[in-house]
Chains A and B, each alone.
Chain A
Amino acid sequence: MNKYSAEIRIVLRNGILDAQGKTIESSLRSLDFPQLTNVKVGKVINLQVEAEDETSAKKLVDNASKKLLANTIIEDYFITLTKVE
């Protein structure tokens, strides 16, 4: 068995109101950062995976993301895997 470290980045899909992002953006504007726009707030989940290989590790994390970690009605998720030596 190999160990992998996984990072799942979850963001609201395009077109879904990101109330936190909008509020932060307006705060940035009032702090004189008008160049910073299109603010989106998401979440990052880190976890460890034990699996035979990278493909099955990714499959496990993908299944968990679909089932629990993300709600695909409103969220997209991106998985990054790193092998733990």
Chain B
Amino acid sequence: MNCSVITFPGSNCDHDAMFATEYSGWKVKNVWHEDKNLPIGTDLVIIPGGFSYGDYLRSGAIARFSPIMTDVIKFAQKGGYIIGICNGFQILTESQLLPGILLKNKTLSFICKDVHLVVENNQTSFTNKYSKNEIIRLPIAHGDGNYYADEEIINELESEGRVVFRYSDSQGRQTEESNPNGSINNIAGIINARGNVLGMMPHPERYVDKTVGGDDGLRLFLGIMESL
């Protein structure tokens, strides 16, 4: 199974994403943002975290027009699997592959810490190796992670089970205190209607082995491989 990890100027989680996918058994290629085409045979695209183009204008707004994104959008339209993590999630919303947008954190601080998440939907191609309502722990590291969409879109996401991860405390309680950035309904990760594009602010690629602090991210990369 072939995974392509895109690198933009300012990406800084691309190597972690390559490590995590290789570690979970993927054959991985790194793709430069100026390339026009994804490698032939790509099964999964990862748009990694970082600060593409210095987060100038809006996070993800300029990367969204990098040459490779034309093919990434085509890949998504054909049903190809994409995971956007952190800045990758921001790029996916700017590309309109996912609805809504990530605003500045409510506190204005850059937040770098571990958070707990509830796996709300384990029926996706990505999360099939988690249990429903399982509480997992992953790191976050962002300044713009405050998920916003208008009421109609939020209702659609909620009613269609497209909120995949929600911030919670260690007991799974989804309170204001356990919401690090002010996201509507504690939303940490969503999926598109077709089920092939996942965006999330927490970093599963940083937690794939207990020696680095946790391995709750590993099953995401194993799960999507099994779905293919």
Q: Identify the A interface with B (CB < 8 A).
A: 16-17, 19-20, 23, 68-69, 71, 73-74
Q: Contact: A23 with B108, CB < 8 Å?
A: yes
Provided the pairs A71-B58, A71-B61, A71-B94 are in contact, do residues A19 and B104 lie with their beta carbons within 8 angstroms? yes
Q: Contact: B148 with A19, CB < 8 Å?
A: no
Listed by A's residue number, 15 A-B pairs whose Cβ atoms lie within 8 Å are A16-B103, A17-B106, A17-B146, A19-B103, A19-B105, A19-B106, A19-B107, A19-B182, A20-B108, A68-B61, A68-B62, A68-B65, A71-B61, A73-B100, A73-B150
Q: Identify the B interface with A (CB < 8 A).
A: 57-58, 61-62, 65, 94, 100-101, 103-108, 146, 148-150, 182
* Chain A residues within an 8 Å CB radius of B62: 68
Residue of A whose beta carbon sits closest to that of B182:
A17
* Chain B residues within an 8 Å CB radius of A74: 101, 103, 148
* Chain B residues within an 8 Å CB radius of A71: 58, 61, 94, 101
* Chain A residues within an 8 Å CB radius of B148: 16-17, 73-74
- A-B pair count, CB < 8 Å, reads 35
Determine chain B's interface SS by DSSP, over half rule: loop
Give CA–CA (A52, B177) in the complex, Å.
56
* Chain A residues within an 8 Å CB radius of B65: 68
* Chain A residues within an 8 Å CB radius of B100: 73
Report the minimal beta-carbon distance from B24 to chain A, rounded to whole angstroms: 34
Besides A19-B103, A73-B148, 19 more A-B contacts (Cβ < 8 Å) are A16-B148, A17-B106, A17-B146, A17-B182, A19-B104, A19-B105, A19-B106, A19-B108, A19-B146, A19-B182, A68-B57, A68-B61, A68-B65, A69-B57, A71-B58, A71-B94, A73-B100, A73-B149, A74-B101
